Amino acid sequence: MVDDPIVAAARLVQGANKTIALTGAGVSTESGIPDFRSKGGLWSRFDPMEYGTFGAFQRDPVKVWRMVAELLAIVEARPNKGHMAMAALEEAGLLAGIITQNIDSLHQKAGSRNVVEFHGTLASFTCLPCQAGYPLSLIKGQALPPLCPRCRAVLKPDVVFFDEEIPAAALMRSRDLVHQADLLIVAGTSCAVEPAATFPETVLAQGGKLIEINKEPVLTGKAEVVLKGGFVQMMTELAVWLQRDV
Ligand SMILES: [Zn+2]
C-alpha cells in the first residue's frame, strides 16, 4: 500500500542525504523507564525546585541525592528494539546521529555511536571542589551519596539540572547535526523544552522534512509522515522496511 505511513517514512529515509534523530523520554518507557514528567513520575514525587536544581545541590547535596539515588535505578535498564533499530540504521549509513534528551545511555548501549546527550548523563560523576571525574563503576557498590576519594566531597551526577546551561559542546554538536540534516526523525518527545523545541523548525526552515514517532503526535501538519504509536513497534517496522535486521 503506497499510503502506508511506514513505507512513506522508509522512502523519506532512503531519499535523504542526512537523516538525524531527536529522542526523548518516550523512547525509553518501553525499557521500563517512566517519563519523569508523567503522573507518578520522578518530578511528581520530588519537587524539581527542591531536588532538581544546581542551587539545591550546592545547598544540600545529601538531600538532592535522595532523588538521584532513585534515578540511579535507570542505569540497570536495557535498550529496547527501537534503540536497536536506530543503531542498525546508523550502522547501515542511514542515520547520521542522535540528539537525545535522555540521560539513560540506552542509545549507546544499543550500539549507537554518534549520540549527543544534551541533558547530560548518569554514566559519570564530577567532584565540584576538585573537578575530578568518575565513572559509574566507582559509584556502584558504594554507600550513597558517593564521596570523592580525594577530597571527600559529595559527587554530582553529570546530568544537567533545571537551572544549569546545556553544556556548550553538546549544544554545538547538536546544532551542527541539525544544520546538516535534511530529514529529522522526532521520536518520543513532545519537543516542549528548549533547545529541542527549535530543532524541528530549523530543519523545516532549511528545506528539510520531519518524521514524527509519538503515541500522541505534536507535529501534525508539520511532519511529512506521522507514525502514531509506540517507539518499539514503529522503529522496528521502519527498520524492516529499510531491510535492516534488528
Ligand atoms: Zn574531589
What is the structure's pLDDT at 26? 96
The vertex-229 CA angle with 224 and 231, nearest 5°, equals 95
Find the 123 Cα to ligand 1 centroid distance in Å. Answer: 18
Domain boundaries, the chain: 1-33+78-119+165-246, 34-76+121-159
CATH class of 1-33+78-119+165-246: alpha beta
The CA–CA distances, whole Å, from 84 to 56, 132, 197 equal 36, 33, 25
Active site positions, annotated: 119
Select the CATH number that applies to the domain covering 34-76+121-159 from these four: 3.40.50.450, 3.40.50.880, 2.60.120.260, 3.30.1600.10. 3.30.1600.10
Find the 124 Cα to ligand 1 centroid distance in Å. Answer: 14
In the predicted model, is pLDDT for residue 134 greater than 90?
A: yes
Per-residue pLDDT, averaged over 57-68, amounts to: 97
In the predicted model, is pLDDT for residue 30 greater than 70?
A: yes
Prediction pTM value = 0.94
Residue 46: which of 36, 57, 60, 32 has the closest Cα?
36
Within 8 A by CB and 6+ apart from 147, the residues are 153, 154, 155
Q: What is the DSSP string of 85-116?
A: HHHHHHHTTS--EEEE---S-HHHHHT--SEE
User: What band does 245 get if pLDDT is binned at 50, 70 and 90?
Assistant: low
Find the 115 Cα to ligand 1 centroid distance in Å. Answer: 28
Find the 155 Cα to ligand 1 centroid distance in Å. Answer: 8
Find the 203 Cα to ligand 1 centroid distance in Å. Answer: 42
Encode pLDDT of 203-212 as tens digits: 999 999 999 9
Encode pLDDT of 86-125 as tens digits: 999 999 999 999 999 999 999 999 999 999 999 999 999 9
In angstroms, how far is CA 217 from the centroid of its own chain?
18
